[in-house]
Protein backbone atom coordinates (compact mmCIF):
# COMPACT_ATOMS: atom_id res chain seq x y z
CA UNK A 1 0.00 0.00 0.00
CA UNK A 2 1.33 3.41 -0.96
CA UNK A 3 0.89 6.82 0.58
CA UNK A 4 -1.95 8.94 -0.72
CA UNK A 5 -1.10 11.28 -3.56
CA UNK A 6 -0.78 14.94 -2.55
CA UNK A 7 -4.06 16.63 -1.71
CA UNK A 8 -5.19 20.23 -1.87
CA UNK A 9 -5.00 21.95 1.50
CA UNK A 10 -8.29 23.45 2.61
CA UNK A 11 -9.04 27.11 3.24
CA UNK A 12 -7.26 28.46 6.36
CA UNK A 13 -10.64 29.74 7.57
CA UNK A 14 -12.22 26.28 7.37
CA UNK A 15 -12.38 25.96 11.17
CA UNK A 16 -15.15 28.55 11.19
CA UNK A 17 -17.26 26.92 8.47
CA UNK A 18 -20.55 25.36 9.45
CA UNK A 19 -20.90 21.67 8.55
CA UNK A 20 -23.45 22.61 5.86
CA UNK A 21 -21.02 25.14 4.36
CA UNK A 22 -18.22 22.57 4.37
CA UNK A 23 -20.42 19.99 2.66
CA UNK A 24 -21.47 22.54 0.04
CA UNK A 25 -17.84 23.32 -0.74
CA UNK A 26 -17.01 19.63 -1.04
CA UNK A 27 -20.05 19.12 -3.27
CA UNK A 28 -18.63 21.85 -5.50
CA UNK A 29 -15.34 19.97 -5.81
CA UNK A 30 -13.08 21.16 -2.99
CA UNK A 31 -10.89 18.31 -1.75
CA UNK A 32 -8.36 17.92 1.03
CA UNK A 33 -7.89 16.74 4.63
CA UNK A 34 -10.72 17.75 6.94
CA UNK A 35 -8.79 17.96 10.22
CA UNK A 36 -9.90 21.17 11.91
CA UNK A 37 -12.78 21.83 9.50
CA UNK A 38 -16.06 23.03 11.12
CA UNK A 39 -14.40 22.83 14.51
CA UNK A 40 -16.57 21.33 17.23
CA UNK A 41 -18.62 19.21 14.84
CA UNK A 42 -18.36 15.44 14.56
CA UNK A 43 -16.61 13.92 11.55
CA UNK A 44 -17.22 10.42 10.23
CA UNK A 45 -15.58 7.76 8.10
CA UNK A 46 -17.68 6.24 5.32
CA UNK A 47 -17.91 2.75 3.88
CA UNK A 48 -20.72 1.61 1.58
CA UNK A 49 -21.06 -2.08 0.71
CA UNK A 50 -23.64 -4.18 -1.16
CA UNK A 51 -26.56 -5.27 1.01
CA UNK A 52 -25.46 -8.90 0.93
CA UNK A 53 -22.21 -7.82 2.66
CA UNK A 54 -23.87 -5.43 5.11
CA UNK A 55 -24.32 -7.97 7.91
CA UNK A 56 -20.65 -8.97 7.65
CA UNK A 57 -19.67 -5.30 7.91
CA UNK A 58 -22.00 -4.65 10.83
CA UNK A 59 -20.63 -7.70 12.65
CA UNK A 60 -17.06 -6.64 11.85
CA UNK A 61 -17.75 -3.24 13.41
CA UNK A 62 -19.45 -4.78 16.45
CA UNK A 63 -16.49 -7.09 17.02
CA UNK A 64 -13.93 -4.31 16.52
CA UNK A 65 -15.43 -1.27 18.25
CA UNK A 66 -12.17 0.63 18.78
CA UNK A 67 -11.39 1.11 15.07
CA UNK A 68 -15.02 0.85 13.89
CA UNK A 69 -17.42 2.68 16.24
CA UNK A 70 -20.69 2.94 14.30
CA UNK A 71 -22.54 6.28 14.37
CA UNK A 72 -25.21 5.47 11.75
CA UNK A 73 -26.19 2.80 9.20
CA UNK A 74 -28.39 3.67 6.23
CA UNK A 75 -31.13 1.71 4.54
CA UNK A 76 -30.09 -0.04 1.32
CA UNK A 77 -29.76 2.45 -1.52
CA UNK A 78 -30.17 5.51 0.71
CA UNK A 79 -27.64 8.33 0.45
CA UNK A 80 -29.02 10.28 3.43
CA UNK A 81 -28.21 10.13 7.13
CA UNK A 82 -29.83 11.36 10.32
CA UNK A 83 -26.44 12.85 11.21
CA UNK A 84 -26.72 15.68 8.65
CA UNK A 85 -29.97 17.16 7.43
CA UNK A 86 -30.13 17.42 3.64
CA UNK A 87 -26.69 15.90 3.08
CA UNK A 88 -25.90 13.57 0.18
CA UNK A 89 -23.38 10.83 0.95
CA UNK A 90 -22.62 10.52 -2.78
CA UNK A 91 -21.36 14.11 -3.20
CA UNK A 92 -20.67 15.74 0.16
CA UNK A 93 -17.28 14.27 1.06
CA UNK A 94 -14.08 15.85 -0.29
CA UNK A 95 -12.87 12.68 -2.00
CA UNK A 96 -13.94 9.03 -2.24
CA UNK A 97 -12.37 5.70 -3.07
CA UNK A 98 -14.09 3.12 -5.26
CA UNK A 99 -13.12 -0.54 -4.84
CA UNK A 100 -13.74 -3.59 -7.03
CA UNK A 101 -12.67 -7.01 -5.80
CA UNK A 102 -10.45 -5.36 -3.22
CA UNK A 103 -8.63 -3.19 -5.75
CA UNK A 104 -8.78 0.61 -5.78
CA UNK A 105 -10.19 1.66 -9.16
CA UNK A 106 -11.10 5.34 -8.76
CA UNK A 107 -10.74 8.30 -6.41
CA UNK A 108 -13.46 10.75 -7.49
CA UNK A 109 -14.94 13.75 -5.68
CA UNK A 110 -18.46 12.55 -6.57
CA UNK A 111 -19.65 8.91 -6.65
CA UNK A 112 -23.10 9.31 -8.20
CA UNK A 113 -21.85 7.54 -11.33
CA UNK A 114 -20.76 4.58 -9.19
CA UNK A 115 -23.77 4.46 -6.88
CA UNK A 116 -25.87 1.32 -6.63
CA UNK A 117 -29.37 0.83 -5.27
CA UNK A 118 -28.23 -2.01 -3.01
CA UNK A 119 -25.54 -0.09 -1.13
CA UNK A 120 -25.71 0.12 2.66
CA UNK A 121 -23.57 2.90 4.14
CA UNK A 122 -21.83 2.85 7.50
CA UNK A 123 -20.76 6.10 9.16
CA UNK A 124 -17.98 5.37 11.62
CA UNK A 125 -16.55 7.66 14.28
CA UNK A 126 -13.40 9.61 13.37
CA UNK A 127 -10.51 10.70 15.56
CA UNK A 128 -10.60 14.21 14.02
CA UNK A 129 -13.63 14.68 16.27
CA UNK A 130 -11.56 14.56 19.45
CA UNK A 131 -8.96 17.02 18.17
CA UNK A 132 -11.04 19.98 19.36
CA UNK A 133 -10.92 18.51 22.86
CA UNK A 134 -7.18 17.94 22.55
CA UNK A 135 -6.63 21.51 21.41
CA UNK A 136 -8.81 22.82 24.22
CA UNK A 137 -6.64 20.92 26.71
CA UNK A 138 -3.49 22.46 25.26
CA UNK A 139 -2.32 19.37 23.36
CA UNK A 140 -0.58 20.41 20.10
CA UNK A 141 -1.93 18.83 16.90
CA UNK A 142 1.23 18.46 14.83
CA UNK A 143 -0.38 17.51 11.50
CA UNK A 144 -2.66 20.55 11.67
CA UNK A 145 0.27 22.80 12.63
CA UNK A 146 2.23 21.45 9.67
CA UNK A 147 -0.66 21.62 7.17
CA UNK A 148 -0.60 17.87 6.55
CA UNK A 149 -2.98 14.95 6.56
CA UNK A 150 -2.75 12.81 9.68
CA UNK A 151 -0.37 9.83 9.24
CA UNK A 152 -2.04 6.41 9.29
CA UNK A 153 -0.38 3.01 9.48
CA UNK A 154 -1.41 -0.59 8.89
CA UNK A 155 -0.42 -2.50 12.02
CA UNK A 156 0.48 -6.09 12.72
CA UNK A 157 -2.58 -6.44 14.96
CA UNK A 158 -5.34 -8.47 13.30
CA UNK A 159 -8.93 -7.45 13.81
CA UNK A 160 -11.42 -10.05 14.97
CA UNK A 161 -12.86 -11.60 11.78
CA UNK A 162 -16.56 -11.38 10.98
CA UNK A 163 -18.12 -13.54 8.30
CA UNK A 164 -16.21 -12.90 5.10
CA UNK A 165 -14.38 -9.84 6.46
CA UNK A 166 -10.97 -9.83 8.10
CA UNK A 167 -7.88 -7.68 8.10
CA UNK A 168 -5.39 -5.69 10.19
CA UNK A 169 -6.14 -2.72 12.40
CA UNK A 170 -5.12 0.68 11.06
CA UNK A 171 -4.00 3.42 13.46
CA UNK A 172 -3.54 7.17 13.26
CA UNK A 173 -0.53 8.73 14.96
CA UNK A 174 -0.17 12.04 16.75
CA UNK A 175 3.12 13.10 18.35
CA UNK A 176 2.48 14.46 21.85
CA UNK A 177 4.95 16.22 24.18
CA UNK A 178 5.44 14.28 27.44
CA UNK A 179 3.78 16.95 29.57
CA UNK A 180 0.58 16.63 27.51
CA UNK A 181 0.29 12.83 27.40
CA UNK A 182 -1.98 12.65 30.45
CA UNK A 183 -4.35 15.22 28.94
CA UNK A 184 -4.40 13.34 25.62
CA UNK A 185 -5.26 10.11 27.43
CA UNK A 186 -7.98 11.80 29.48
CA UNK A 187 -9.65 13.78 26.69
CA UNK A 188 -9.76 11.00 24.12
CA UNK A 189 -10.84 8.41 26.69
CA UNK A 190 -14.02 10.43 27.23
CA UNK A 191 -15.00 10.01 23.56
CA UNK A 192 -15.34 6.26 22.94
CA UNK A 193 -17.73 6.82 20.00
CA UNK A 194 -14.84 8.35 18.05
CA UNK A 195 -12.20 5.71 18.90
CA UNK A 196 -11.64 6.69 22.53
CA UNK A 197 -8.21 6.45 24.12
CA UNK A 198 -5.07 5.37 22.27
CA UNK A 199 -4.27 1.72 21.61
CA UNK A 200 -0.52 2.30 22.10
CA UNK A 201 1.99 4.95 23.14
CA UNK A 202 5.67 4.89 22.36
CA UNK A 203 7.71 2.45 20.27
CA UNK A 204 5.93 1.96 16.91
CA UNK A 205 7.64 -1.41 16.47
CA UNK A 206 5.26 -2.83 19.08
CA UNK A 207 2.50 -2.34 16.49
CA UNK A 208 4.60 -3.72 13.64
CA UNK A 209 5.30 -0.23 12.25
CA UNK A 210 8.82 -0.10 10.88
CA UNK A 211 9.17 3.57 9.90
CA UNK A 212 7.04 6.51 11.05
CA UNK A 213 8.25 8.53 8.08
CA UNK A 214 6.47 6.15 5.69
CA UNK A 215 2.76 6.06 6.60
CA UNK A 216 0.48 3.79 4.60
CA UNK A 217 -2.07 6.59 4.32
CA UNK A 218 -1.86 10.33 4.85
CA UNK A 219 1.36 12.31 5.22
CA UNK A 220 4.48 11.94 7.37
CA UNK A 221 4.49 14.36 10.29
CA UNK A 222 7.60 15.81 11.91
CA UNK A 223 8.08 15.03 15.59
CA UNK A 224 9.45 17.77 17.83
CA UNK A 225 12.27 16.82 20.24
CA UNK A 226 10.87 14.75 23.09
CA UNK A 227 7.52 14.05 21.38
CA UNK A 228 5.99 10.66 22.16
CA UNK A 229 4.13 8.99 19.29
CA UNK A 230 0.58 8.12 20.36
CA UNK A 231 -1.55 5.77 18.26
CA UNK A 232 -5.33 5.67 18.03
CA UNK A 233 -7.45 3.03 16.30
CA UNK A 234 -8.51 4.42 12.91
CA UNK A 235 -11.65 4.26 10.79
CA UNK A 236 -9.59 3.41 7.73
CA UNK A 237 -9.53 -0.12 9.18
CA UNK A 238 -12.57 -1.18 7.05
CA UNK A 239 -10.58 -0.23 3.95
CA UNK A 240 -7.81 -2.56 5.05
CA UNK A 241 -10.49 -5.25 5.45
CA UNK A 242 -11.72 -4.51 1.91
CA UNK A 243 -8.18 -4.98 0.59
CA UNK A 244 -7.71 -8.20 2.56
CA UNK A 245 -11.17 -9.72 2.00
CA UNK A 246 -11.89 -8.48 -1.53
CA UNK A 247 -15.66 -7.89 -1.57
CA UNK A 248 -16.93 -7.35 -5.12
CA UNK A 249 -17.63 -3.64 -4.61
CA UNK A 250 -17.29 -0.90 -2.01
CA UNK A 251 -17.16 2.88 -1.74
CA UNK A 252 -15.20 4.59 1.04
CA UNK A 253 -13.94 8.03 1.96
CA UNK A 254 -10.38 8.88 0.98
CA UNK A 255 -8.26 8.61 4.15
CA UNK A 256 -8.31 11.87 6.07
CA UNK A 257 -11.11 13.36 3.94
CA UNK A 258 -14.16 12.84 6.08
CA UNK A 259 -17.91 13.43 6.17
CA UNK A 260 -18.89 16.50 8.22
CA UNK A 261 -21.99 15.83 10.32
CA UNK A 262 -24.27 18.33 12.04
CA UNK A 263 -23.68 16.62 15.39
CA UNK A 264 -21.64 18.43 18.02
CA UNK A 265 -18.62 16.73 19.52
CA UNK A 266 -20.00 17.02 23.04
CA UNK A 267 -22.93 14.77 22.07
CA UNK A 268 -20.48 11.86 22.11
CA UNK A 269 -18.57 12.89 25.21
CA UNK A 270 -18.94 10.87 28.39
CA UNK A 271 -19.55 13.06 31.42
CA UNK A 272 -16.43 12.76 33.54
For the chain, 272 residues long, the average pLDDT of each consecutive 10-residue run is 43 89 95 91 97 98 97 98 98 98 98 98 93 92 91 97 98 97 96 94 97 95 96 97 98 96 93 66
The pair phi, psi for residue 81, each rounded to 5°, is -145, 145
The pLDDT score that the predictor gives to residue 9 is: 52
Domains, the chain: 15-128+244-268 (3.40.1640.10), 129-233 (3.30.2040.10)
* Mean pLDDT, rounded, of the chain: 93
Other residues' Cβ atoms within 10 Å of the Cβ of residue 134 = 20
Burial class from Cβ neighbours inside 10 Å (0-12, 13-18, 19+) for residue 178 reads exposed
| pLDDT tens-place string over residues 140-151 | 999 989 989 999
The pLDDT score that the predictor gives to residue 5 is: 37
The pLDDT score that the predictor gives to residue 272 is: 59
| pLDDT tens-place string over residues 48-59 | 999 999 999 999
* CB neighbour list of residue 236: distance below 8 Å, 6 or more residues apart: 45, 152, 170, 217, 255
> Of all helices (H) and strands (E), which one includes residue 218?
none
Burial class from Cβ neighbours inside 10 Å (0-12, 13-18, 19+) for residue 16 reads exposed
Burial class from Cβ neighbours inside 10 Å (0-12, 13-18, 19+) for residue 63 reads middle
The pLDDT score that the predictor gives to residue 7 is: 38
Indicate the pTM of the whole model. 0.92
Amino acid sequence: MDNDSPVTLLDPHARAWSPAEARARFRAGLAGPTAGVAAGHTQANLISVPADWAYDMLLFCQRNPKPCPVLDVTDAGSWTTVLADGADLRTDLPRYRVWRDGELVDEPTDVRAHWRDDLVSFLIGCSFTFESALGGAGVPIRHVEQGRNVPMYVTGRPCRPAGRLSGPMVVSMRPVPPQHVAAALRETGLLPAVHGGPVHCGDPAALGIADLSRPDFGDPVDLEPGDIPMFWACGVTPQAAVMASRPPFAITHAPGQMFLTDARDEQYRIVA
